[in-house]
Amino acid sequence: MSAFAKTIVRSIRGSLGRFLAIMGIVALGCGFFAGLQMCGPDMRSAADELYDGTGLYDIRVVSTLGFSDDDVSRVRVVEGIDSVMPSVTIDVMARMGSEQVAARVSSLDVHAAQESTEDGTSAIVSADGNYLNRIFLHEGRWPRAPDECVLVADKSVGGVGIGDRVEVLYGSTDVDDVLRERILNVVGMVSSSNYPYTGSFGSTTLGSGMIAAYLYIPQAALVDDVAYTEIYATASGAYALESGSDAYEDAVGLVSRRLEDQGDELAKARLKDVQGEAQDELDEKRGDFEKERDDARKELADAKSELDDARKELDDAKEELAKGQRDYDDGARKLDDSRRDAYDQLDAGQATIDDSRAELESRQGEVDAARTQLEEGMRAYGEGVIELLDQTGASSLEEARTMLEEGVRQADEGIEQLSSALDGASQLADQRIQLEIAESELLGGLSAAGIVAGSVQEAKGMLEASVTQLEAMGAPEEQIAPLRDSLAAASELVAAREQFEAGRTQLLAGLAAQGIEAADEGQAAELLGTSLAETRAKRAQAQEGLDAIAQLEASAAELESGRLQLEDGERQIAEGWEKLESGQSELDGQRADAEGKLDDAQRELDDARGKLESGKSDLASGTKEYESGKADYKKAKKDADTELADAEKKLDDAQAEIDDIEEPDIYVLDRSQNEGALTYDADSHRIDHIADVFPFMFFLVAALVALTTMTRMVEDDRIELGTSSSSRRYYLSL
């Protein structure tokens, strides 16, 4: 080895750290360059592997009117379409744990998901070629019931996991038109290649504008006949091409353009289907309306005809009654005139005889027993006065009358109060019986319906809980209505029971204030009845005393009058009786003859009056029924006209809405409109741009370090190398 070589080896050995540092920096720059250059392609290759392995759609078709199965078939036959899968998606605001976030709910073919198997971490194998956008089940199971779902596993929202619930609050459209249930139980955690970017799952018009979570529900959770919101499809040949590449875009773009070219036909077909379905439903309803309208009009016409017939019958009956009334009035007037004339004559004669008889009888009585009666009357009068004064403890008849009148007044007040209290107690007793019957009937009816309660109050609580539960479950109104009716009846009975208890408490308290202690309204009624009977007995006793005073006073007056008339009447009695008997006999014969004729005429008139009154009663009853029927007819006609007009207007409005349905807009989208896929692809291209710039910085640093190190080495070995400028330039060039 020459001295020059030895010198070089010695220099390298002495500066081994510098040489290794230069080699490390150069290797690090090469490594960064190679790694960054491959990072973007590797990301796109991994995404393509995931997309192909999970059957991610190439084309997504959406419509402003949604899609039907017929639309799916129309898309399926487009040239270049391999697989087609319809789906229903709705953006909602949901409560997850303690948070309210925007979430995206999509339908899932549970059968296809259950039949599929995972192949590694980036592929799902399914025998169903139309099962697209396949999802990974990381934990739990697939949903089966309408109130079950699987939730995103890539991001925790509100701490919700398996066994928790997600409550749907509202959505971008009416949630009840899409979902059967608003409370969803989480049974599994999943991830989807449709959402490759976990930082954001897409944008929405709800909440903060960003989708915070996504979840999948079984098709059984969807309302019947709900329209698909999108149709996913794959393009022929796209599977073999890398997603996002020019070749892939060309292959998918060719099929997309074919779909766009047929967009007008798809829109027209969809419009025709929507209008046809709506028109069929409207035509069916219009037919029902016309049938009901014809039936209503026929019933009204029949009712009008019956009313007209009844009106004619009433008019005929009224005319007959008017004629009968005129005949009766004439007969009654003639009979009255005859009776008046006859009785005027008879009464005049009878008056004379009666006056004479009264006078004779009065005088005869005075003559026959005046003395004896007067003595007995005076004795009885004295005994009655003494007995009455002993009973009342009074010193005179006036004082006794005052005491007895006061007793009658107090008894009347007591009777009025006791009668009012007795009526209240009787009403409470009746009310208790009615309440017990009504409560028994309600509890019996609820028991027959499967609701067993010990009291109406308990039944009310059970009914309120049942109604609340059914409303929370979204049960139909016809299922809740009977429970609401029973709840209303139970509420009324509870209020009636409270009112009854308050009335009974008030009654017993009032009786206690009067010194009458009773355990319940029945005992109160019994005690009040006893008190009322005793009070009435006291009043009767006092009234008897007053009547006795009146009789005593009347007796005294009669005795005095009899004594005065006794002496004058004896002289005229004998002559008067003879004349009286003769006149009375003659008058009685005349009266019997006249009364016989008048009775015959009166019987005929009474018969006519009975028939007339019966006819009037029938006419009044018929008129009342007619007026009631007429009022019912007018009301029914008015209600029917209003209801028919409203129904016809609704049908016309519905027809106008159907006619005004515009042709839907059809949008054909590819993966470049998928926010997650687009974001992921953009990130991979950003890495490519970084790879173009960042390694240059490392190469520049490595060159500067190498140059600095070599300059220092040259300076250190200047003696061995020489000091000539040519040698220095030579080494520096190295």
CA distance 711 to 709: 5
CA distance 462 to 474: 18
* 181-184 long-range contacts, CB within 8 A, separation 24+: 181/146, 181/147, 181/221, 181/474, 182/474, 183/147, 184/147, 184/148, 184/149, 184/215, 184/217, 184/221
Question: Cβ distance 242 to 58 under 8 Å?
Answer: no
Residues 6+ apart with CB under 8 A from 353: 580, 583, 584, 587
CA distance 467 to 585: 93
Percent of the chain topping pLDDT 90: 8
- Helix, strand, coil percentages (3-state) for the chain, rounded to 5, are 70, 10, 15
Q: Where are the alpha helices (DSSP H) in 570-674?
A: 573-659
Could you tell me how many helices (H) and strands (E) the chain has, helices first?
14, 13
CA distance 277 to 298: 32
Residues 6+ apart with CB under 8 A from 149: 105, 143, 166, 184, 185, 186, 187, 215, 216, 217, 221
CA distance 382 to 72: 124
The pLDDT value given to residue 723:
45
Question: Cβ distance 108 to 151 under 8 Å?
Answer: no
* Beta-sheet strand order (sheet of 81-87): 81-87, 228-235, 59-67, 666-670
Q: Please provide the DSSP assignment of 518-569 as one string.
A: -SSHHHHHHHHHHHHHHHHHHHHHHHHHHHHHHHHHHHHHHHHHHHHHHHHH
Per-residue burial over 138-160, b = 16 or more CB atoms within 10 Å of its CB, e = otherwise:
eebebbeebbbbbbbbbeebbeb
Rounded mean pLDDT, 412-420? 74
Helix (H, G, I), strand (E, B) or coil at 101: strand
Which of the pair, 18 or 578, is modelled with greater confidence? Answer: 578
The pLDDT value given to residue 628:
78
Residues 6+ apart with CB under 8 A from 57: 85, 132, 133, 194, 232, 233, 234, 671
Rounded mean pLDDT, 123-129? 86
Asked whether residue 262 carries a pLDDT value surpassing 80, the answer given is no
Which tens digit of pLDDT belongs to each residue from 656-670? 776 666 677 788 888
CA distance 401 to 397: 6
CA distance 167 to 95: 5
Which of the pair, 60 or 601, is modelled with greater confidence? Answer: 60
**Which of the listed ranges 19-28, 101-110, 567-576, 679-688 does the model predict with the highest average pLDDT?**
101-110
Asked whether residue 229 carries a pLDDT value surpassing 70, the answer given is yes
Instruction: Find residue 83's DSSP bridge partners.
Output: 234
CA distance 295 to 302: 11
Question: Cβ distance 366 to 569 under 8 Å?
Answer: yes
CA distance 386 to 82: 132
The pLDDT value given to residue 678:
64
What mean pLDDT is reported for the chain? 77
CA distance 105 to 91: 6
* E-state strands within 163-290: 165-171, 183-192, 213-218, 228-235
CA distance 131 to 82: 12
Which tens digit of pLDDT belongs to each residue from 636-658? 777 777 877 777 777 777 777 76
Asked whether residue 186 carries a pLDDT value surpassing 90, the answer given is yes
CA distance between the termini of the chain? 22
Which tens digit of pLDDT belongs to each residue from 422-440? 677 777 777 778 877 887 8
The candidate with the shortest Cα–Cα distance to 51, out of 202, 204, 242, is 242
Rounded mean pLDDT, 167-181? 88
Residues 6+ apart with CB under 8 A from 265: 74
Which tens digit of pLDDT belongs to each residue from 281-340? 777 777 887 787 777 777 777 777 777 777 777 777 777 777 777 777 777 777 777 777
Tokens read off for 112: 């296809």
Strands 148-152 and 117-118: unpaired
The pLDDT value given to residue 728:
46
The pLDDT value given to residue 232:
92
CA distance 103 to 111: 24
* E-state strands within 302-447: none
Tokens read off for 315: 């008019």
* 251-257 long-range contacts, CB within 8 A, separation 24+: 252/58, 252/59, 252/670, 252/671, 253/670, 254/80, 255/58, 255/59, 255/78, 255/79, 255/80, 255/81, 256/59, 256/668, 256/670
The candidate with the shortest Cα–Cα distance to 63, out of 662, 556, 469, is 662
Q: Where are the alpha helices (DSSP H) in 211-262?
A: 246-261
Number of neighbours of residue 322 by Cβ within 10 angstroms:
10
Asked whether residue 732 carries a pLDDT value surpassing 50, the answer given is no
Asked whether residue 733 carries a pLDDT value surpassing 60, the answer given is no
CA distance 631 to 625: 10
Tokens read off for 620: 């009044």
Residue 510: exposure state from Cβ atoms within 10 A (0-12, 13-18, ≥19):
middle
The candidate with the shortest Cα–Cα distance to 489, out of 441, 529, 545, is 441
Question: Cβ distance 591 to 350 under 8 Å?
Answer: yes
pTM score, whole prediction: 0.47
Rounded mean pLDDT, 135-162? 90
Question: Cβ distance 390 to 548 under 8 Å?
Answer: no
Which tens digit of pLDDT belongs to each residue from 509-565? 777 777 777 766 677 777 767 776 777 777 777 777 777 777 777 777 776 776 666
The pLDDT value given to residue 675:
66
Rounded mean pLDDT, 459-470? 81
Element (H or E) spanning 66, and its range?
strand 59-67
The pLDDT value given to residue 168:
92
